[in-house]
Amino acid sequence: MADALIFATLNGLVTGMLLFMLASGVTLIFSMMGVLNFAHASFYMLGAYFAFAISQQIGFWPALLLAPMLVGVLGALVERYGLRQVHKSGQVAELVFTFGLAFLIEEAVQLFWGRATQDFRSPAALDFALFTLFGQDFPAWKGVMLCISVSIFIGLYFVLTRTRTGIIIQAAITHPQAVANLGHNVPRLFMVVFGAGSALAGLAGVIAGPVLTTFPGMASVLGSIVFVIVVIGGLGSLTGALVASLLIGLLQSWAIASGLGMADLLALLGVSFPPDHALRDLWRLTLPQVAPLLPYLLLVLILIFRPSGLFGKRES
């Protein structure tokens, strides 16, 4: 039991920090531009695919650097020539635009790489067990994932609170007009933040691609979870995004590892139902089965009872 719990916690941390790399970008973009970026997970997918293509030509490590940069440039272009155009038509149009973009990127990926899963692997040099606990291996690549995501978190925190750029960004979130009057180019700042957020998503894609498999559906698998996190944490709150990412990561990981189900609960209560009972599916539910449901359940509950999220200050 203890070994399962430790490994579930470690895996939950890795997933949670990975989710945070996406959620932080969505949060920053939302607080600056008021747009929930549906296409954010698509940039994550592009990161994985670009890295796969580059790593086949010149190796994995250059890809780790080049792929996120490419994705970042693409994100900046999308903001400059797409989102800025749609901004005039209002918030709903912007949300619909990013939704359409996500649809388009998924199709474009299939155009270039096809529908099949790509054989994108972590570098062979890291193909060993970082440590072995209770006879179970913890792969070194997951350790690297954790290192990269934690250092990104620290770097992001440092940039936003300690550098001049970060302070201008923070000011532009609350007082864009005043920042513009001080002579800063706010539209360009928006473009840079959008590009940087996309690059972060791309980096997440590079490090997650080998573990979570690189296939055209990988964006939609993670995309809605990232939304859930951003809303649960509170729209626009980076702290909230971090807490919610870890919460979701750990919750799912524990639920899968536990293997408990309704049958255990019923046995504990001493209740039993005939096997052909009308609600038999309910009595057979297990936690690993409902693990994918948990984030959405949490989302709906949060939105009903605390619409501003865990750490959010304002509604919508």
Partner 1 sequence: MRALVLWAGFALVLMVLPLIFDSVLGVSILNQMAIAIVFALSYNLLLGQGGMLSFGHAVYFGLGGFLAVHAMLLTETQTLAIPLVLIPLAGGLCGLCAALFIGSFSTGRAGTVFAMISLGVGELLAASSLILVSFFGGESGVSADRTFAPPFFGVDFSQDVQVYFLAAAWLFVSVLGMYLFTRTPAGRLANAVRDNPERARFLGYSAGRVRFISFAVAGFFAGIAGGLFAVNYEILTAGNLNAASSGQVLLMAYIGGLGVFIGPILGAVLLTLINSLLNHYTTLWMLYLGLVFVLTVMFLPRGLTGLLMLHRVPWQQGRLGLLVRPYTLTAIPGAVLVLSLIGLLELSQRETGPFVYLGIPFAPGSAVSWLALLAVAVIAFVALRRTLPGLRAAWAEASAQSPRSMHEGDAP
Residue of the chain from 10, 66, 73, 86 that contacts partner 1 (CB under 8 A): 86
Q: How far, in Å, CA of 28 to CA of 308, rounded?
A: 16
Binding segment for partner 1 (CB under 8 A), chosen from 149-157, 161-169, 257-265, 279-287, is 279-287
Q: 3-state class of 215 per DSSP?
A: coil
Residue 97 binds to partner 1 (criterion: CB under 8 A): yes
Residue 139 binds to partner 1 (criterion: CB under 8 A): no
Q: How far, in Å, CA of 193 to CA of 229, rounded?
A: 20
Name the phi and psi angles at 312, rounded to 5. Answer: -75, 150
**Nearest-approach distance from CB 245 to partner 1, in angstroms:** 17
Residue written as token pair 């918030």: 91
- Radius of gyration over alpha carbons of the chain, in Å? 21
Q: Which two tokens stand for residue 229?
A: 């996190």
Q: Which is nearer to partner 1, 64 or 231 (CB)?
A: 231
Residue 104 binds to partner 1 (criterion: CB under 8 A): yes
Is 212:32 a contact under the CB 8 Å cutoff? Answer: no
Residue of the chain from 1, 2, 57, 92 that contacts partner 1 (CB under 8 A): 92
String marking each residue 230-249 x if it binds partner 1 according to CB under 8 A: -x---x--------------
Residue burial 178-201, b: 16+ Cβ < 10 Å; e: rest? ebeeeeeebeebbbbbbbbbbbbb
Q: How many CB atoms lie within 10 A of CB 168?
A: 15
Is 252:12 a contact under the CB 8 Å cutoff? Answer: yes
Q: Which is nearer to partner 1, 189 or 228 (CB)?
A: 228
Residue 215 binds to partner 1 (criterion: CB under 8 A): no
Residue 100 binds to partner 1 (criterion: CB under 8 A): yes
Binding segment for partner 1 (CB under 8 A), chosen from 5-13, 120-128, 140-148, 278-286, is 278-286
Residue of the chain from 9, 170, 213, 220 that contacts partner 1 (CB under 8 A): 220
* Residue 105 identity: I
User: Number of residues in contact with partner 1, rule: CB under 8 A?
Assistant: 45
Is 54:62 a contact under the CB 8 Å cutoff? Answer: yes
Sign of CA dihedral 231, 237, 238, 240: negative
Residue 116 binds to partner 1 (criterion: CB under 8 A): no
**Nearest-approach distance from CB 33 to partner 1, in angstroms:** 13
Q: How would DSSP label each residue in 141-156?
A: HHHHHHHHHHHHHHHH
Residue 297 binds to partner 1 (criterion: CB under 8 A): yes
Residue of the chain from 6, 77, 95, 144 that contacts partner 1 (CB under 8 A): 95
Q: How far, in Å, CA of 23 to CA of 20, rounded?
A: 5
Residue 111 binds to partner 1 (criterion: CB under 8 A): yes
Residue 260 binds to partner 1 (criterion: CB under 8 A): no
Q: 3-state class of 131 per DSSP?
A: strand
Residue 265 binds to partner 1 (criterion: CB under 8 A): no
Q: Which is nearer to partner 1, 106 or 203 (CB)?
A: 106
Provide the binding-site residues for partner 1, judged by CB under 8 A.
36, 82, 85-86, 88-89, 91-93, 95-97, 99-101, 103-104, 107-108, 110-111, 220, 224, 227-228, 231, 235, 278, 280-282, 285, 289-290, 292-293, 296-297, 299-300, 303-304, 307, 315-316
